[in-house]
Amino acid sequence: MPQQTAQDTRQSTQEDRIESEARRFTGYRRLFSLPGARAFTVGNLLARLPIGMFSVSAVVMIAGSRGSYALAGAVTATGLAATALAGPWLARLVDRHGQARVALPATVVAVLGSLALLLCVRYDAPDWTLFAAYAGTAATPNIGGLSRARWAHLLRDEPDAQHTANAFEQAADELCFMLGPVLASFLTGTFFPEAGTLVGAVLLLAGMALFTAQRATEPPPQARSKGRSPLRSPGIPALLACFTATGAVFGSMEVVTIAYADAQGHRAAAGVVLALQAAGSCAAGLAYGALKPTGLRLVRCLAGMAVLMTLPWLAAGLTGSLVALAGALLVAGMATAPTMVTAMTLVQRRTPADRLNEGMSLMVTGLLTGIACGSATGGWATEHLTPTVAYAVPVTSAVLALGVATLARVGAVRPAVPAA
């Protein structure tokens, strides 16, 4: 008996040691130690990369064939508006019926829309067919939202790990929006104008097929909700306004930077300069995810973004140097990811569990709306004022987001108490 007791004690001690060692897997090691996490992440990244490719590919393809950037811009704007309208409805279906049953068929529809656009351009179809075809791409699921929902399901009792997962997803967003346009430009310039759209469609379908095949990590579908809409949840309308204003920062910064580089005679360098902003955000997002989320305040993040967004304005106005502007954008971009991570965590905490995808999709809709408004405002400012003065638009948008969060008292992301 004493020998058996000693053996049991040693076994118990060994199990405690293993459990203690497992707890040491924190941060990103913890995320990817979960069964199935690596597989669905690979699929997610493959499917997400084309999101940064399609717009550039469509503009190059349409403008090259029809000789009109106005037509190309109108077609892509139509697709953006259709996505904003269809996104929440599609996300509601995902919540009710599951990711695999909804997201994969929706992706097939979106891919067919991209291929239809390609054929319409290739065979010189009437202009209205371009709008109809590109509107079909609105069926593209909110891929980042699907991935965040999986992390929220897998890490429902680990709020610290959820914070890290949200930071990783934001960094992945920035990486894909940084690499997507570069890849699209390379494909359309090296091979043929339709190459970017074609490769993007293949990557989207292959990535989503791999992602939805990981059924073990898929959140269970929820019964038809009889509860309130996410828009009626406390704090969600204010967060939606913050996302819209933040989108205006992104949209205006892109247009103004392109105009500024063009005025300097270096329009081709605009993509590299904007990529540095995304790189700064990506790096800051990964670093932010490694920190413990002890009372993260959205107001503080927005205040930091409002301050750092003045750097490009100052660099453009005081130096007139594109190199100085690039450095300023790199630093300014570091405010983006922490702000988005904190805001999205608040959305997850305040959205009913059975409508999580719908809640996150609403925020993406707000973000897209803000990007469209910011692009239009930034474009007007560069044309009627100067590109340098137009850098006041993203600063104003960031201050507006800060004002909304402050007046609405959006609050802080505090560590949740794990379920018993």
Domains of the chain: 37-221 (1.20.1250.20), 228-420 (1.20.1250.20)
Burial class (CB in 10 A: 0-12, 13-18, 19+), 89: exposed
Per-residue pLDDT of 267-298, as tens digits, reads 667 777 878 888 888 888 888 877 766 555 88
* Whole-structure pTM value: 0.74
Higher pLDDT, 119 or 8: 119
Q: Are 345 and 166 in contact (CB under 8 A)?
A: yes
Element (H, E) at 297: strand 296-297
Per-residue pLDDT of 240-258, as tens digits, reads 899 999 988 988 888 788 7
Rounded mean pLDDT, 40-60: 87
Rounded mean pLDDT, 380-403: 89
d(C-alpha 247, C-alpha 244), whole Å: 5
Tokens of 80: 């953006």
pLDDT beyond 50 at 11? no
pLDDT of residue 228: 66
pLDDT of residue 303: 92
pLDDT of residue 55: 79
d(C-alpha 189, C-alpha 193), whole Å: 7
pLDDT of residue 129: 94
User: What separation, in Å, do the N-terminal and C-terminal C-alpha atoms of the chain show?
Assistant: 35
- For residue 27, which amino acid is it? G
Rounded mean pLDDT, 60-73: 80
